[in-house]
Structure 1
Amino acid sequence: MRYLGYASTFTLLTIIGAATNATAGEVNLYTSNSEDAVALVLDAVAEQAPDIKINVIGGGSGSLLRRIEAEQSAPVADLFWSSGFSTLAGFSNLFTAYESPEADSLLPALQTESAPWTGTNTHVTVIMVNSDVLDGEAPQTWEALMDKRWAGQVTMADPANSSSSYAQLYGIYQLYGEEGVRNLADIVELQGSTSGVYKAVAQGEYPLGMTMEYAAQRYIHGGQDDISMIYPTDGTFLSPEGMALIKNGPNSEEAKQVYDLLLSQNLQEQLFDLTFRRPSRADLDDAIANSGLPLMEDINIIEVDETEAGEQRDYLLELWADARG
């Protein structure tokens, strides 16, 4: 299946489509990013690296990583963009380390020198609110959100398939332990994808959603007056995302060029202006401030050990499944 409307020299394949091994001068990019973000990258590659053709295989991060795992005896993908660090940790054997010349310009927490991936952006978890269907005052903390009065009125993505949702689950676990996980399981209704959460809240199917700052901001910026977001005062969580070269990918040298481009200042600023995803570079604070979003220093952020989050993934997902019944 092909999507039209992107740069004419590129092909966008969905996860449904069959991918073929990239030939010289091509890169097979597996990505969970939005179509408009992908289109921007394709245009940038067309301008700055016109000899490279990109085949894009899109889908959820969990599905794509499992696909890469299934293909590891004969890799098809060259580059994966992107998923949360804690999720990537469970698939680290699929990747090969690459020291990009752009890495020194990144925020220290997103350089991941000991891991075979590099941070591309970071998400801030928020409570997205639709005031048109909200009954009463919106909860200002995670603890208040987990009150039984909100049962069936809160939605989140399935943590087994969404790296950002797993980061939310791990954050709740870190703040409130097993009891918090079980309380959360009692009140939320799950969506099959990350995008399903903010779409459901925006459409008024739920008054509250656990989602990412950038997603809610796109509706606010677009003029949907009933949408707002809350940064919980008991602390919220970051979900840094990274990209990685696939081990033994068929065109690693071309993939490195695309990798460097994705970390470049110009493209990261363009992606932020388009998507509101906080960039991994340390030199874009002015762009963030001008967007109307708070600076990170003004948000109560709970520090998360991404290595530990990755190591506890299986345990926490089993706990979650048991709590959901």
Structure 2
Amino acid sequence: MNGRRTVAGLFALLCLLTGCAGSQAPADASYMPPQEERLVIYTSHKEEVWWPIVKEFEERTGIWVDVVTGGSSQLLDQIRQEREAPRADVMFGGGVESLESYSDCLEPYACSEKAQIPERYRSEKDLWTPFSSLPVVLIYNTKLVDPAWLTSWSDLLSDRFQGKIAFADPSVSGSSFTSLVTFLDAMGQSPEECLPQLAASLEDRQLDSSGDVLSAVAQGSDWVGITLEETALQWIAAGEDLGMVYPADGTSSVPDGSALVAGAPHRENAEKFLDFTVSLDVQQLLARQFYRRPVREDVETGETLVPLSQVKLVDYDVEWASRERESLLMSWAFYLGGEEEP
């Protein structure tokens, strides 16, 4: 696990601020709320995203929230390992095709405001609740790359970008797996044709996390990269030497989501949190404070985002991506120099 933020940690901070220096957050159970007032969330979101949402949820409901952070695949694997004795109540984050791949660890739940969500963002079986819509984009270092060099996915296969492409391990990063499937859809070729080409352009090298992609391109260790619109726009707004491209040969805008863990110890509170993630207030927060696209019909996209009507979208099949996930990851590992043939 990458880390944990709990209300106990906030209690310790409060003690310091109120003159209780030297004391520790109490460890005995008498200071813990009863089970009916607790919730355990596993999240792959960055703290800047999950923290204001969790904080507001706690304040409105009085529910004590324990948050465990990590990569989406890492946390979903953890949920699977804990299936006989679940610790988590909610998986908050991850591409919905990744959530579909762990359907045996999740339980369907129809959020209370489902009617406000367009059908294209819904789970047919209510296995997950959408959170935001996240287009995949290409980025480049503006000091090293002429914008004319990078307009489409196929440009990544040119000799000029050989060994200079930042791409995160799709077995760890859910957004990277979405990007891999988007690449296949845009190229219109089979995995056996496409994946070896991309692996060769990467020179069999991939990064450990999706966050590393932005750093590598901004610092110039890589010239171009594959990431999500949200993070690209954040770095550009921060003044980094980055440009962003919606590929002319098409991209995806697959939602990330939240899901109820099967056998959740605090199911009622989990359902309340899932409802909260798609509430009008939270979805407006996404549009106002983050470079994320809301999934509710009654919330407008932020002014900084290009309308999706102006972006060419591929026909991204979430069900196929979920069904073929393990096969695609095995093939990808093989083409990157893995030992076992898929």
User: TM-score, structure 2 length as denominator?
Assistant: 0.85
Partner residue in 2 for 1:320: 332
Q: What SS does the aligned partner of 1:134 have?
A: coil
Partner residue in 2 for 1:195: 211
Q: 1:63 aligns with which of 71, 74, 77?
A: 74
Q: How does 1:1-325 map to 2 (within 5 A)?
A: 8=10, 23-49=35-61, 51-134=62-145, 137-174=148-185, 175-177=188-190, 178-188=192-202, 189-224=205-240, 226-285=241-300, 287-288=301-302, 290=303, 292-325=304-337
> 1:45–1:196: structure 2 CA closer, same or farther, 3 Å change rule?
same
> 1:232–1:10: structure 2 CA closer, same or farther, 3 Å change rule?
farther
Instruction: Name the % identity.
Output: 29
> 1:113–1:9: structure 2 CA closer, same or farther, 3 Å change rule?
farther
> 1:24–1:9: structure 2 CA closer, same or farther, 3 Å change rule?
farther
CA contact (8 A) 1:10 1:42 kept: no
For 1:113 and 1:200, locate their aligned partners in 2 and report how far apart those are by CA, in whole Å: 38
- The Cα shift of 1:223 comes to 3.0
User: TM-score, structure 1 length as denominator?
Assistant: 0.89
RMSD of aligned C-alpha atoms?
Answer: 2.4
Q: Which moved more, 1:30-39 or 1:201-210?
A: 201-210
The amino acid across from 1:227 in the alignment is L
How many residues matched?
Answer: 312
CA contact (8 A) 1:156 1:191 kept: yes
Q: Which contiguous aligned blocks of 4+ residues in structure 1 show a shift greater than 6 angstroms?
A: 4-7
The amino acid across from 1:112 in the alignment is S
Instruction: Write out per-residue CA displacement over residues 252-272 of structure 1, whole angstroms, 9 at most, x where no aligned residue.
Output: 101111111111111122133
> 1:257–1:170: structure 2 CA closer, same or farther, 3 Å change rule?
same
Instruction: Write out per-residue CA displacement over residues 100-157 of structure 1, whole angstroms, 9 at most, x where no aligned residue.
Output: 1121111211121324111111211111111123368431111111123211111111
Q: Which moved more, 1:145-154 or 1:77-86?
A: 145-154
Q: Which has the larger radius of gyration?
A: 2
- The Cα shift of 1:7 comes to 9.2
Give the gaps of 5 or more residues in structure 1: 12-19
The amino acid across from 1:73 in the alignment is E
> 1:89–1:136: structure 2 CA closer, same or farther, 3 Å change rule?
closer
> 1:282–1:10: structure 2 CA closer, same or farther, 3 Å change rule?
farther
- The Cα shift of 1:4 comes to 9.1
CA contact (8 A) 2:6 2:66 kept: no
> 1:266–1:93: structure 2 CA closer, same or farther, 3 Å change rule?
same
